[in-house]
Amino acid sequence: MQAFFLKEGFFLVFYSRKLASNFQKMSTDIKALEPQILWGHFADLNAVPRPSKKEERVIKFIQDFGKQLNLETLTDQAGNVIIKKPASAGMENRKTVVMQGHLDMVHQKNADTVFDFDSQGIDMYIDGDWVKARGTTLGADNGLGVAAIMAVLSSTDIAHPPIEALFTIDEETGMTGAMELDASLIDGKILLNLDTEEDDEIGIGCAGGVDITASRSYQEEPTPENVKAYQIAITGLQGGHSGMDIHKGLGNANKLMNRILFDGFTNYGLRISSIQGGSLRNAIPRESFATFVVDIATESAFLSDIQDKIDAILNEFKNLEPNLKIEITETSLPNHVMELGVQEGITKAIYAALNGVYRMSPDVEGLVETSNNIAKVTIANGDLKVECLTRSSSDSSKWDLANSLQSCFELAGCEIGFSGDYPGWLPNIDSEILNILVSSYEKLFNEKPHVAACHAGLECGILGEHFPEMDMISFGPNILGAHSPDEKAQISSSQKFWKLLLEVLKSIPKA
């Protein structure tokens, strides 16, 4: 036995060293990409765990970064970090620019990926023209924007006006950093938000949002006799950003699971023991798992019928969600199931609750105005919770949909909570910085950029309330699959983004 532990210990030490060696090689590969100053800072940033609500380590990382450069480094009560850098030679009379990005990242991983976001750096690799992560989100949202700001701060040969670098916290789960910002620490007149995910797009507006939580308790009932227990696992959906991808009609694991369970309950008296679906409000849910029981007398007919329903769903999504899996397996009997009346009410409520696009913008062609994401469903141990994120560029339309969802879930006996309400960002087509971005883009790339508002929650709406006179714009490199383990950043696009950023900085007008 003692010898076994010695061998096991040797293996663990060897395995840990191997992981460290692989991580070091990965970091070296990424840092060799051009522009090296950008990718080098991104690799350093991605070595620091930075989940939303747990930004202590990345806050210290950014504080140390600023202090090592001997730049004025401030931190407000919320945890936002501001680093100020004087203008480069000859640019002292230009307007002060606020370069802004958020430090936190969405933490999502595949079910079969073993990874601890609280302690591990992101395991990145290069795949052709893309940087990806192994089984997890990459953190390019908004890590590449943060890295670009770090690159400007650390540079010695980039022409730039006076810079105020604003690194906000908790953007992904409430935007509390932007909301609680100490505005007295910022003097800039122009804001460059580097949190857009298409390199040919210049953002001039965004959606606001509100979190909606439906919850209630229920009596657990003893599992009936003469039943068998099964688990349904829905996996392999693409997921994605609940704002930018909501119009694509991608599969929502919570809605698909409810569809199957509702049918089994209606036709065969299926009784639910537990459901765990989705993980984050701002990510379209990719996976859902449910445990239930069904009467032995109807088991054979139920299994045949439910497989037909599963096959029908797979056929519906065969082109849009080619990796979708819906598997039903027998499992051990649970001790309890949901109270019957509550089960009926909540399955009907989830069926009736809107998921997806509620209204398209009547003013901007192709822009989603209002939507909802049924992001997370948790049912277990006498408590149920359904968590949604409603987005809209129209405040009145946002609350119209919120009231609709509230009514739906209240009919099922739930209590409704609203939280994290934040405003949208109204476009300003006469913006001076917009004109600079457009002319710089056309000069560099000989084509016109796409000037648009987006159906995502950028911090510009909140920052605009702090600084109503500030001229704001948003742009960034191509990032696909944000908020999902399929997230990837395009290398050539990052080079394009960097080139545009440098041109914009040297084109800032005089104060």
Catalytic residues: 104, 171
Task: Answer whether 96's CB lies under 8 Å from 186's CB.
Answer: no
Name the amino acid, one letter, at 339. Answer: E
**Pairing label, strands 190-193, 471-474:** parallel
> CA 449, CA 438: separation in Å to the nearest integer?
7
The answer to whether 106 touches 482, Cβ cutoff 8 Å, is yes
- Cα separation, 135 vs 38, in Å, equals 24
> For residues 168 and 460, is the Cβ–Cβ distance under 8 A?
no
CA proximity to 357, closest of 196, 450, 242, 508: 242
Angle, in degrees to the nearest 10, between helices 140-154 and 36-46: 120
| Closest to 150 (Cα-Cα) out of 163, 141, 162 | 163
How far is CA 309 from its chain centroid? 31
Contact yes or no for 455/372 (Cβ under 8 A): no
Query: What three-state secondary structure class fits 377?
Result: strand
What SS3 class is residue 107? Answer: coil
Signed CA dihedral, 235, 239, 242, 247: sign only = negative
Nearest by Cα to 141 from 471, 489, 463:
489
Dihedral sign for Cα 321, 393, 460, 417, please. negative
Q: How far apart are CA 197 and CA 73, in angstroms?
A: 28
Integer Rg of the chain from CA: 25
CA–CA separation, 468 and 343 (whole Å): 48
Query: How far is C-alpha 387 from the chain's CA centre?
Result: 15
Cα of 415 vs its chain's centroid, Å: 26
Quote the CA–CA distance of 327 and 3 in Å, as a whole number: 42
User: How many of the other CB atoms lie within 10 Å of CB of 256?
Assistant: 23
Q: What is the largest CA-CA distance in the chain?
A: 85
Structure tokens at 415: 């209590």
- For 409, the token pair is 């879930």
Amino acid at 192: L
Cα–Cα distance for residue pair 439/447, rounded to 1 Å: 10
